[in-house]
């Protein structure tokens, strides 16, 4: 818990705009709650799920839900219309609220990058704007829609990215690789900062969950908590399950998938084709506060991803969360993940290679001594990457901008 700051007690409220359901967005929640803990008033403008009230409060954060919903798995045209609708409504919502609240700072969370346009009316009034780049959108688009990722499209996305950064006071990246990418594209380093993702230790505390010894009931329980989308290579996980059934028929393996996405029906059909459907369980999205309990009930946490230009500059929080819970983690061997978890703290596998994934799982099963040593090292690394370490620097960054605003 951060102590209330002097700036927080006298500063104007802070607004955040995010094209997601606030309750389900870990990064936005971490940042908003850190500011509230430091004594700031925070208003979040987010999507509204069917059945949700138009306004509410969560952990001291005021939420205004704009009546736009996600259309996950839809054609790209539907996404663009959804983004445009939310940007237009967000512009009006921010402007109207600013008349009453007199915001001292606005933080816009992407994607889409052009959502920063909703904060431009306040920017023109002298309000600082932080652009929080959750994704490298051109690279993400290339990995998600490779058939559409042609030269003019990518050039347009890169142009929007640069213009969006230029429109903000400051832009945030989620890791050092993403930061270096922007610098290489010509964005001045003085206008960039890195605010890394990491779990809140109070939410991912093994001592707060029932303990499970490794395979204590004789079953190997694998857990994946994240989106069910093509990027995360869950086909490879199912193929690895089928390989394990052939190589170790005496080893009972169960896979629990916590999350939703446009791949669920296809993955369920693939599991049936591979004859592992009875051991693959789709639980849907679970609340953020429930994830740790599900990981604690597992034996191995999976952090899969396909190799793309986007994934090479990404660090999945799945690996950090699993390690923080004291669980062995099987992770795709990618450059950014290796940067943060050097050595053999995680059980690495070659991306896009189900046989390598299955072998990584078996290394954990077969070598208890190496497994326990790796878990201990990875847990220490994860605690060093926790949001608890990053939050003070993030709050200080916001407060510096608030001070600059109050002095003008």
User: Are residues 179 and 210 located together in one domain of the fold?
Assistant: no
- Does 394 fall in a domain? yes
350 phi and psi, to 5 degrees?
-75, 120
Q: Could you tell me how many residues make up the chain?
A: 408
- Does 295 fall in a domain? yes
Residue 71: its pLDDT value, please? Answer: 79
User: Are residues 17 and 85 located together in one domain of the fold?
Assistant: yes
Burial of 113 (0-12, 13-18, 19+ CB in 10 A): buried
User: Are residues 30 and 173 located together in one domain of the fold?
Assistant: yes
Q: Look at the block and give the residue holding tokens 């596998």.
A: 349
Residue 1: its pLDDT value, please? Answer: 46
- Does 33 fall in a domain? yes
Answer whether 287's CB lies under 8 Å from 23's CB. Answer: yes
User: Are residues 109 and 144 located together in one domain of the fold?
Assistant: yes
Residue 77: its pLDDT value, please? Answer: 85
User: Are residues 240 and 147 located together in one domain of the fold?
Assistant: no
User: Are residues 257 and 191 located together in one domain of the fold?
Assistant: no
User: Are residues 161 and 237 located together in one domain of the fold?
Assistant: no
pTM check: above 0.95: no
- Does 286 fall in a domain? yes
Residue 10: its pLDDT value, please? Answer: 63
Q: How many domains does the chain have?
A: 2
User: Are residues 358 and 399 located together in one domain of the fold?
Assistant: no
Residue 8: its pLDDT value, please? Answer: 47
Residue 303: its pLDDT value, please? Answer: 97
Q: Can the peptide bond before residue 283 be classed as cis, meaning omega within 30 degrees of 0?
A: no
- Does 1 fall in a domain? no
Residue 405: its pLDDT value, please? Answer: 66
User: Are residues 228 and 171 located together in one domain of the fold?
Assistant: no
Burial of 354 (0-12, 13-18, 19+ CB in 10 A): buried
User: Are residues 14 and 92 located together in one domain of the fold?
Assistant: yes
The token pair at 278 is 């009875």
Answer whether 135's CB lies under 8 Å from 303's CB. Answer: no
User: Are residues 164 and 227 located together in one domain of the fold?
Assistant: no
For residues 346 and 327, what is the distance between their CA atoms, to the nearest angstrom?
10
Name the stretches of the chain with pLDDT < 50.
Answer: 1, 8
The CATH number of the domain where 292 resides is what? 3.40.50.2000
The string of pLDDT tens digits covering residues 33-84 is 999 999 999 999 999 999 999 999 999 999 999 999 887 767 888 889 999 9
**Which range of residues forms the domain containing residue 315?**
206-384
Residue 3: its pLDDT value, please? Answer: 54
User: Are residues 119 and 220 located together in one domain of the fold?
Assistant: no
């Amino acid at each position: 818990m951060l102590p209330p700051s002097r700036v927080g007690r006298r500063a104007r409220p802070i607004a955040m705009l995010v094209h997601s359901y606030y309750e389900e967005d870990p990064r936005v929640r971490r940042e908003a709650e850190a500011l509230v803990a430091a004594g700031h008033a925070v208003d979040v403008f987010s999507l509204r799920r069917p059945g949700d009230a138009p306004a509410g409060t969560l952990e001291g954060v005021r939420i205004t839900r704009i009546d736009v919903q996600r259309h996950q798995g839809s054609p790209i045209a539907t996404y663009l219309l959804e983004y445009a609708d939310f940007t237009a409504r967000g512009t009006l919502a921010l402007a109207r609220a600013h008349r009453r609240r007199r915001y001292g700072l606005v933080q816009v969370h992407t994607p889409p990058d052009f959502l920063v346009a909703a904060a431009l009316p306040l920017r023109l009034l002298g309000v600082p704007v932080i652009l929080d780049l959750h994704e490298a959108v051109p690279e993400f688009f290339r990995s998600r829609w490779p058939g559409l990722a042609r030269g003019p499209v990518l050039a347009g996305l890169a142009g929007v990215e640069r213009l969006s950064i230029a429109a903000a006071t400051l832009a945030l990246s989620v890791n050092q690789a993403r930061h270096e990418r922007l610098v290489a594209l010509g964005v001045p380093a003085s206008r960039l900062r890195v605010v890394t993702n990491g779990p809140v230790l109070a939410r991912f505390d093994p001592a707060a969950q029932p303990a499970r010894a490794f395979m204590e009931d004789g079953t190997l329980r694998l857990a994946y908590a994240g989106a069910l989308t093509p990027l995360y290579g869950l086909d490879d996980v199912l193929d690895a399950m089928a390989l394990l059934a052939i190589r170790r028929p005496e080893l009972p393996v169960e896979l629990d998938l916590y999350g939703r996405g446009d791949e669920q029906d296809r993955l369920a059909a693939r599991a049936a084709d591979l004859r592992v459907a009875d051991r693959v369980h789709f639980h849907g999205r679970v609340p953020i506060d429930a994830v740790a309990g599900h990981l604690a009930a597992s034996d191995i946490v999976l952090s899969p991803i396909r190799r793309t230009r986007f994934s090479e500059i990404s660090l999945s929080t799945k690996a950090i969360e699993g390690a923080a819970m004291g669980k062995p983690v099987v992770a795709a061997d990618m450059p950014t993940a290796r940067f943060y978890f050097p050595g053999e703290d995680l059980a690495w596998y070659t991306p896009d290679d189900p046989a390598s994934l299955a072998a990584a799982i078996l290394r954990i099963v077969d070598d208890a001594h190496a497994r326990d040593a790796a878990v201990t090292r990875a847990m220490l690394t994860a605690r060093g990457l926790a949001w608890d370490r990053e939050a003070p620097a993030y709050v200080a960054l916001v407060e510096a901008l608030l001070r600059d605003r109050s002095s003008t």
